[in-house]
Amino acid sequence: MVQYIALTGYMGSGKGVLSDMLKQSGYKYVSLSDIVREEATSRGLEHTRENLQNIGNELRSQYGAGVLGMKVRETITREPDQKWVVDGVRNPACMDELRELPGLKIVGVSADDELLIDRILDRRREGLSMTCDDVYARLKREKGEGEPTDGQQVRKCLDKVDYFILNDSSLEAFLHKFEHFLKLESGEARPTFDEIFMEIAYTWAKRTTCLRRGVGAVIAKDGQQITAGYNGAPRGVPHCAEVGGCLREKFGIPSGQRHEICRGTHAEQNAITQAAKFGISIEGSTLYCNTFPCVICTKMMLNAGITKVVYDSDYDDPLSKEILGQQTGLELKRYEGKKFG
């Protein structure tokens, strides 16, 4: 059994449900927000989400981005034999402070914006009359849009978790996913096929010769790996480091744009072309990748007959997302499970 579990995620994602489940199992609850609430009380301010966000940002700005995590860690270390669940983690620096606790596992919870907004409007937290636009603005702030680096940065936190869950269907399914995490940690459960193949994708990413980002991909069917690839220069071509550095960096090209200006081949492209080289059919297969596919990879996967893509981290390529939203032959799934990056 994991002794220390920390939770991060957007409002409405279901962190409270998991906290309640753990409390019933003997975990003691503490939230980083508790420290902020105490400060709000001392200032005579109402405990509205906006006030708490502002005070949290002030404390991080004054004492360091990880101050809330540090204070919670100090609280926990005073009862070292107690099992703890920590809620309200909203900045990566707080995660770093909490990771000083031995064996700590951080679980990230999320859902689509539309679903989060519907839940929050139904809940009407704080008794306020909020519109859809109000909730969306709060979500954007939690994600880190317009926030300082020591402010609300939940999106970055979700990229650094040990386990990721989507709360996008029933309560029963949500709890079942969390129970799998607990059983996986205790050795009572085997990894899912998604976890197996994503771990292999991350392993292939270690072979990258790209100077900006390591990406790995695996194509599988019926529970068996077919082919794999990683991003880097084509066969027989010098690596970027051998010819003076990254071409895209030299021209200042942002991520997700002008894919043709690059010496490298993407991991998904290499996995697909390896199948073609050896005459292996990948029609009806699933491609696992540790990042969202770009538009070139998307078009190749559609034409190759791949029917499902499981990706981990996001990648800002609007045209890829537009094309994927216009087709019905390729299922896109955000990876859930143990993280390996």
Rounded to an integer, the average pLDDT of 227-253 is 89
pLDDT for the residue numbered 284 = 97
Residue 268: name the closest of 238, 251, 293, 243 by CA: 293
Query: How much is the pLDDT for 260?
Result: 85
To the nearest whole percent, how much of the chain has pLDDT over 90? Answer: 69
Tell me the per-residue pLDDT of 142-180, one tens digit each, with 9 for 90 and over. 999 998 888 889 999 999 999 999 999 999 999 999 999
Mark residue 57 as left, alpha or beta (left: phi above 0; alpha: psi -120 to 50; beta: remaining). alpha
Measured CA to CA, the distance from residue 73 to residue 79 in angstroms comes to: 10
Percent of residues, the chain, with pLDDT higher than 70: 98
Per-residue model confidence (pLDDT) at position 150? 85
CA 239/CA 3 separation, integer angstroms: 45
**In angstroms, rounded to a whole number, what is the distance separating the alpha carbons of residues 229 and 270?**
5
List the one residue out of 36, 93, 42 whose CA is nearest residue 70.
93
Give the pLDDT confidence of 60-85 residue by residue, as tens digits: 888 898 999 999 999 999 998 999 99
> What span, in angstroms and rounded, lies between the C-alpha atoms of 341 and 51?
35
Q: Which of 217, 200, 216 is nearest to 208 (CA)?
A: 216
pTM: 0.88
Which residue bears the tokens 């508790």? 34
Q: What is the separation of C-alpha 135 from the centre of its chain, rounded to a whole number of angstroms?
A: 21
CA torsion angle for 114, 115, 117, 122 (degrees, to 10)?
Answer: 140
pLDDT at 97: 96
pLDDT at 39: 87
The pLDDT assigned to 52 comes to: 83
Q: Which two tokens stand for residue 109?
A: 């919870």
More confident residue, 260 or 321: 321
Cα angle value 312/317/321 (rounded, 5°) = 80
Cα 305 vs. chain centroid, distance in angstroms?
27
Contacts of 71 (CB under 8 A, 6+ apart): 35
pLDDT of residue 259: 83
Per-residue pLDDT of 87-134, as tens digits, reads: 999 999 999 999 999 999 999 999 999 999 988 888 765 555 678 888
Instruction: Tell me what pLDDT residue 128 has.
Output: 56
CB 303 within 8 A of CB 276: no
Q: What is the DSSP letter of 65?
A: T
State the pLDDT at residue 251.
86
Q: Residue 57's pLDDT is what?
A: 80
Mean pLDDT along residues 11-34: 95
- The candidate with the shortest Cα–Cα distance to 86, out of 180, 9, 176, is 9
Q: Is 179 a catalytic residue?
A: no
Average pLDDT over the chain, rounded to an integer: 92
Query: Over the stretch 248-282, which tens digit does the pLDDT of each residue have?
Result: 888 888 888 888 888 889 999 999 999 999 999 99
Select which of 268, 283, 331, 336 is catalytic: 268
Give the span between the Cα atoms of 86 and 2, in whole angstroms.
13
Q: Tens digit of pLDDT for each residue in 180-193?
A: 999 999 999 999 99
Is 60 in contact with 95 (CB distance < 8 Å)? no
